[in-house]
């Protein structure tokens, strides 16, 4: 009886350990994440995925368990473990003529709201006369222009650059 | 209790109006004074109710981005400006950041580097699709700060102390965590309601409003009050020109409150914990960040409002210890802590950063 209890406890631990089964949906972390044909160095890229993209998990590779087989965009290939997550990104609350509504990361990314730099309201706030009196340097107007310049530098960073940075750190083909 | 105080206040207003007419010995004046005050009380009650509605509504992304932009401008100004060579483009070109021509200067190269490092980290956060912007403030003070909507700033003084990219990654991740956790919202929501009620009281001629808003001109108060009167429920559109005075009232006070008290200790420690997760998930050694924080002197201008460095380091070591134990029975095959953390690199900093220091 005691032995059976222990076995049951072990099974429960094992069951709870991953709480993930082949066929379950998991999510991509990172930009321009490559789905590779194999786990070998220099393997061909079958597809590129973006943060929050859902893929079907098939399991860890037996020889190189840091790589996981997934089905994505009609292809079956491998993704590095750190580029996957069991939880999707947070949803965002967008305003619409019908009222506020929650959308997932993909819908948010394609909504146009995600690409917003300083909003008209924030620019108006910084440019108003009352905010530009006094001896503070820079002035608020200058702060607006500086922020817009840095926003442009940020917006012009490509997925490829970010993926290359990820590879530079991990030494793993993204 | 609030309702009781409001009723007592209202009673006070009506009584004052009656007394004023009585002093003049004029019955019609008494009646007109009471009528006027009753109208004021009804108006005040309605205004206060609107303030509660504004406070109860969930903050939308549009509102977050607008308030975040206004707050970010304050951080830029108070941080001595951004270490960037600005574009001379006109307003139309500035409205299209993806195609804006940027000069190839060392300071702009530094920002390119910082944004590649930051965006790689943010792409692994719970809000990967925000338009993240990472900037360097031209200040010797050692500090990092964020604003809602995806703005993260580090000071030149901080970069001088950074000796590897893992440390920089931890610092940026800590600020990313404040944005993804929406830590500013607790201060912001309360600020909105308090400022809105001060406005309502000020228009009703009550001291608790006029004293709070004394730095604003009567014309500005009128603009803000018109915006409050026009509010008919739902999401507050702070991006609208008509609501500029409200945006100003809210963001000015948010900045003031943040600078007075910062985030709660627990929020800072949680942000450190998320920072470790993001840093390790991106492939960096957690030691870069832990050692950086550990080397900061306590007090002074070093990360004002943050818990003492020794407390932060203890909490992070505890987190890493727990994750090491948990990695024996991982809850996810993708847990970044399931790898051998001692094998993760500190990663040398790029030349752009070295040159800027």
Residue-range domains of chain A with CATH: 19-85 (2.30.30.40), 89-114 (no CATH), 117-169 (no CATH)
To the nearest whole Å, the CA of A70 is away from the closest chain B CA by 13
Closest CA to B135 of A29, A158, A155: A155
**What is the model's pLDDT at position B8?**
43
Size of interface A-B (CB pairs under 8 A): 260
Instruction: Please tell me which of the candidates B73, B111, B119 has its beta carbon nearest to residue A125.
Output: B73
* Residue B197 CB neighbours (<10 A): 22
Using a CB-CB cut-off of 8 Å, the residues of chain B touching A120 are 239, 241
Instruction: Please tell me which of the candidates A18, A138, A162 has its beta carbon nearest to residue B119.
Output: A162
Which of B66, B68, B73, B87 would you mutate first to test chain A, the one with the most A CBs within 10 A?
B73
Instruction: Please tell me which of the candidates B72, B120, B131 has its beta carbon nearest to residue A116.
Output: B131
Closest CA to B204 of B21, B27, B51: B51
Which of A147, A159, A164, A172 would you mutate first to test chain B, the one with the most B CBs within 10 A?
A147
The residue that leads in pLDDT, B242 or A111, is B242
pLDDT tens, position by position, B93-109? 988 999 999 999 999 99
Which of B255, B333, B339 would you mutate first to test chain A, the one with the most A CBs within 10 A?
B333
Residue B83, SS3? Answer: coil
Q: For A73-82, B8-17, B268-277, which range has the lowest pLDDT when averaged over its residues?
A: B8-17
Structure-token pair, residue B266 = 């627990």
Please state the domain extents for chain B: 61-182
Closest chain A CA to residue B128: A51
Residue B148 CA from chain centroid, whole number: 5
Q: Rounded to whole angstroms, what are the CA distances from A154 to A98, A110, B59, B114, B217?
A: 32, 18, 25, 9, 37
Are the Cβ atoms of B282 and A166 closer than 8 angstroms?
yes
The H-or-E segment that residue B147 falls in is strand B144-147
**What is the model's pLDDT at position B5?**
44
* Residue B315 CB neighbours (<10 A): 19
In sequence order, the β-bridge partners of residue A80 are A67
Crossing angle of the two packed helices B27-56 and B184-203, in degrees rounded to 10: 170
Closest chain B CA to residue A115: B131
Residue B266, Cβ density class (10 Å: 0-12 exposed, 13-18 middle, ≥19 buried):
exposed
Phi, psi torsion values for A35, nearest 5 degrees? -100, 115
pLDDT tens, position by position, A27-65? 999 899 999 999 998 999 999 999 999 999 999 999 999
Residue with tokens 């943040």: B258
To the nearest whole Å, the CA of B51 is away from the closest chain A CA by 19
Answer whether A92's CB lies under 8 Å from A102's CB. yes
Q: What's chain A's average pLDDT?
A: 88
What is the DSSP pairing of strand B144-147 with strand B133-137?
A: unpaired
Long-range contact set of residues B16-20: C-beta below 8 Å, sequence gap at least 24: none
Closest chain B CA to residue A91: B127
**What is the model's pLDDT at position B14?**
43
SS3 content of chain A, % helix, strand, coil (to 5): 35, 25, 35
Q: Tell me if the pTM is above 0.80.
A: yes
Residue B334, SS3? Answer: coil
Instruction: Please tell me which of the candidates B61, B94, B180 has its beta carbon nearest to residue A148.
Output: B94
Question: Cα angle vertex B199, ends B195, B202, to 5°?
Answer: 135
Structure-token pair, residue B93 = 């070109």
Are the Cβ atoms of A149 and B332 closer than 8 angstroms?
no
Are the Cβ atoms of A153 and B238 closer than 8 angstroms?
no
**Spatial distance between the Cα atoms of A62 and A39, rounded to a whole number of angstroms:** 11
A14: confidence class by pLDDT, cuts 50, 70, 90: very low
Closest CA to B123 of A81, A89, A143: A89
pLDDT tens, position by position, B152-175? 999 999 999 999 999 999 999 999
Are the Cβ atoms of A149 and B282 closer than 8 angstroms?
no
State the architecture of B61-182 in CATH terms: 2-Layer Sandwich (3.30)
**What is the model's pLDDT at position B20?**
46
To the nearest whole Å, the CA of B38 is away from the closest chain A CA by 34
What is the DSSP pairing of strand A75-80 with strand A84-85?
A: unpaired
Mean predicted confidence (pLDDT) in B235-251: 95
Using a CB-CB cut-off of 8 Å, the residues of chain B touching A123 are 69
Q: A26: number of CA atoms within 13 Å, CB side? A: 30
pLDDT tens, position by position, B54-93? 999 999 999 999 999 999 999 999 999 999 999 888 988 9
Are the Cβ atoms of B123 and A118 closer than 8 angstroms?
no
DSSP B58: P
**Spatial distance between the Cα atoms of B151 and B145, rounded to a whole number of angstroms:** 8
Answer whether B200's CB lies under 8 Å from B44's CB. yes
């Amino acid at each position: 009886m005691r032995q059976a209890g222990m076995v049951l406890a072990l099974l429960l631990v094992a069951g709870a350990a991953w709480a993930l089964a082949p066929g379950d949906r998991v999510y991509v972390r990172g930009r321009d994440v490559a789905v590779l044909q194999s786990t070998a160095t220099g393997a061909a890229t079958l597809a590129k995925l973006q943060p929050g993209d859902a893929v079907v998990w098939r399991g860890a590779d037996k020889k190189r368990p840091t790589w996981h087989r997934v089905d994505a965009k009609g292809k079956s290939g491998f993704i590095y473990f750190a580029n996957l997550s069991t939880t999707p990104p947070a949803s965002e609350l967008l305003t619409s003529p019908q009222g506020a509504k929650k959308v997932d990361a993909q819908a948010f990314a394609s909504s146009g709201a995600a690409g917003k730099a300083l909003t008209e309201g924030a620019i108006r706030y910084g440019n108003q006369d009352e905010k530009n009196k006094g001896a503070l340097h820079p002035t608020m107007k200058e702060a607006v222009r500086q922020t817009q310049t840095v926003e442009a530098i940020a917006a012009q960073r490509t997925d490829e650059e970010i993926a290359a940075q990820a590879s530079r750190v991990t030494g793993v083909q993204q | 209790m609030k309702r009781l105080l409001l009723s007592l206040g209202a009673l006070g207003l009506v009584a004052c109006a009656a007394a004023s007419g009585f002093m003049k010995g004029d019955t019609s004046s008494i009646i007109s004074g009471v009528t006027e005050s009753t109208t004021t009380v009804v108006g005040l009650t309605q205004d206060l109710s609107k303030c509660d509605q504004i406070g109860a509504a969930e903050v939308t992304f549009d509102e977050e981005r607008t308030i975040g932009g206004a707050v970010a401008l304050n951080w830029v100004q108070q941080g001595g400006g951004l270490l960037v060579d600005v574009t001379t483009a006109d307003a139309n070109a500035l409205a299209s950041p993806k195609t804006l021509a940027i000069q190839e200067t060392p300071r702009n190269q530094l920002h390119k580097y910082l944004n590649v490092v930051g965006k790689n980290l943010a792409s692994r956060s719970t809000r990967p699709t925000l338009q993240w912007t990472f900037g360097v403030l031209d200040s010797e003070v050692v500090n990092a700060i964020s604003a809602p909507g995806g703005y993260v700033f580090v000071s030149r003084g901080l970069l001088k102390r950074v000796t590897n990219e893992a440390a920089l990654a931890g610092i940026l991740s800590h600020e990313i965590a404040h944005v993804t956790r929406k830590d500013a919202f607790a201060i912001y929501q309360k600020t909105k309601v308090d400022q809105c009620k001060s406005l309502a009281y000020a228009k009703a001629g009550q001291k608790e409003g006029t004293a709070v808003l004394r730095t604003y001109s009567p014309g500005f108060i009128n603009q803000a009050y018109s915006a409050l009167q026009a509010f008919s429920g739902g999401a507050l559109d702070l991006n609208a020109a008509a609501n500029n005075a409200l945006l100003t009232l809210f963001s000015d006070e948010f900045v003031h409150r943040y600078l007075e008290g910062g985030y709660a200790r627990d929020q800072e420690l949680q942000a450190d914990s998320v920072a470790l997760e993001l840093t390790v998930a991106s492939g960096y050694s957690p030691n870069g960040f832990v050692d950086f924080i550990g080397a900061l002197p306590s007090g002074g201008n070093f990360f004002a409002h943050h818990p003492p460095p020794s407390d932060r380091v203890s909490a992070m070591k505890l987190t890493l210890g727990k994750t090491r134990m948990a990695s024996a029975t991982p809850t996810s095959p993708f847990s970044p802590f399931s790898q051998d953390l001692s094998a993760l690199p500190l990663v040398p900093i790029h030349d752009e950063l070295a040159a800027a220091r």
